[in-house]
Chains A and B, each alone.
Chain A
Amino acid sequence: DQQVKQNSPSLSVQEGRISILNCDYTNSMFDYFLWYKKYPAEGPTFLISISSIKDKNEDGRFTVFLNKSAKHLSLHIVPSQPGDSAVYFCAASASGTYKYIFGTGTRLKVLA
């Protein structure tokens, strides 16, 4: 049973436009959410996170939005750059569990 779902396996966006990556979760106990980026032949690297007490967190070109009632979060990248081409994983965790549950990933391709 996939508790964290990324329903779009891939996404292509033109350079300079907005990229929107989506993630849904089913466990209402999750209260901390993260996005990781992964390039080929490398380990995932942390990108941005959000606590359930917030509905938005921004870091430069990256913004994460959280809609708790819909159990949905999204990552916005504006403007998208070719170097953003990677696989993006969302992850969720619940207080006291010491564990992340990862989604299946979305491969983003930013076209020059």
Chain B
Amino acid sequence: IAGITQAPTSQILAAGRRMTLRCTQDMRHNAMYWYRQDLGLGLRLIHYSNTAGTTGKGEVPDGYSVSRANTDDFPLTLASAVPSQTSVYFCASSESGGVTDTQYFGPGTRLTVL
């Protein structure tokens, strides 16, 4: 069982370009999340989805969009990347989205926007 996979592992991107970070889970979890990790700021929630077909905004949603067409996939899109979006991005999933559910994290995508 792979758990959660993220692609790419790392990427260098020119400012203004469009980029989609991929996230796939094989645990049939209903809820999925996208976080960014920045030095001195910890992990901050970008967007989440409690079930396929629904999404919600987290703490720092501006400049990002998500979709949840099916249970397994939760891609994160930067429509026009800016240098402040340089970060490590983690995808996570949990069984039902309840706050007492454990969230399982992927290995992360390191994104650099120049």
Whether the Cβ atoms of A98 and B98 lie closer than 8 Å is yes
In angstroms, Cα B106 to Cα A85, docked, is: 20
Interface of A is mostly: loop
CB of A70 to closest CB in B, whole Å: 21
Among the 9-residue stretches A45-53, A55-63, A75-83, the one with 4 or more Cβ atoms under 8 Å from chain B is: A45-53
Give the size category of B's interface with A: 20 to 34
Chain A, residues 30-55, CB within 8 Å of chain B (1/0): the string is 00100010000111111001010000
In the complex, whether A102 has a CB less than 8 A from a CB of chain B is yes
B residues with CB within 8 A of A: 4, 31, 35, 40-45, 48, 50, 56, 58-59, 90, 92, 97-100, 102-108
Hey, which bits of chain A sit against chain B, CB under 8 A?
4, 6, 9, 32, 36, 41-46, 49, 51, 89, 91, 93-105
9 contacts between A and B (CB under 8 A): A4-B42, A43-B92, A46-B104, A49-B100, A94-B99, A98-B48, A100-B99, A102-B43, A104-B42
